[in-house]
Amino acid sequence: MGIFHFPFKQLPVLLTVSVVALGLTGCTDRIGVAEQAMNAIRNEPAQPITPPPKAELIEDFVYSANMLRSPFLPPSLVNVQAPEASLDGVQPDITRPKQPLEQYELAQLTFRGMVISPEGQQYALVQRPDSSVASVKVGDYLGLNYGRIVEITPTQINLIEIVPDSRAGFVERPQSLVSPIS
């Protein structure tokens, strides 16, 4: 009888070779499957892209509640501060008809000079954004913040604006429209 001798010294080498061979066959099989799937995806017809939704047109909104309580202050705080605001009596006259230069911000207007009429009345020349020139006198209004002209000098127009303050009231603020050539 012959005795079969197994070379135990080469056992680790044989195990390593067999594991690597099985591993490589598994990798090539998974790579092949992935390549087939990618080729199938590439061969499909392109899907159409859905267009973005149409933009809705929203109508302009004119805020006309500027004389009401501020929505950013709690009613308890407004009740405490309201008497202080009414004591100083500073309120814009909203019943007064607006003058032509009250539709522009002060930054849009340019003071171009001063003229004196034969009667001695001082007039300031103010250039509008469309380059036309208007004449104004002390007591006239200009700007968006109820700016009343209080003085005209050769280099500037001094006015008092009525602006909202943080206490749900209004305050007077001095402002000037200065000549760019001063």
Query: At CB < 8 A and 24+ separation, what contacts does 137-143 make?
Result: 140/99, 140/101, 141/96, 141/98, 141/99, 141/101, 141/102, 142/99, 142/101, 142/102, 142/104, 142/106, 142/109, 142/177, 143/101, 143/102, 143/104, 143/105, 143/106, 143/109, 143/175
Domain-embedded: residue 147:
yes
Domain count within the chain: 1
Domain-embedded: residue 151:
yes
Block means of pLDDT (10 residues each) for the chain, 182 residues, are 58 63 62 91 88 85 70 59 50 88 91 90 92 92 91 89 79 86 64
Residue 24: the pLDDT is 57
Domain-embedded: residue 68:
no
Domain-embedded: residue 169:
yes
The parent domain of residue 143 ranges over: 106-178
Domain-embedded: residue 21:
no
Domain-embedded: residue 116:
yes
Query: What's 140's domain CATH number?
Result: 2.30.30.830
pTM: 0.50
How many other β-carbons are positioned within 10 Å of the β-carbon of residue 147? 25
Domain-embedded: residue 69:
no
Residue 164: the pLDDT is 83
Domain-embedded: residue 41:
no
Residue 135: the pLDDT is 92
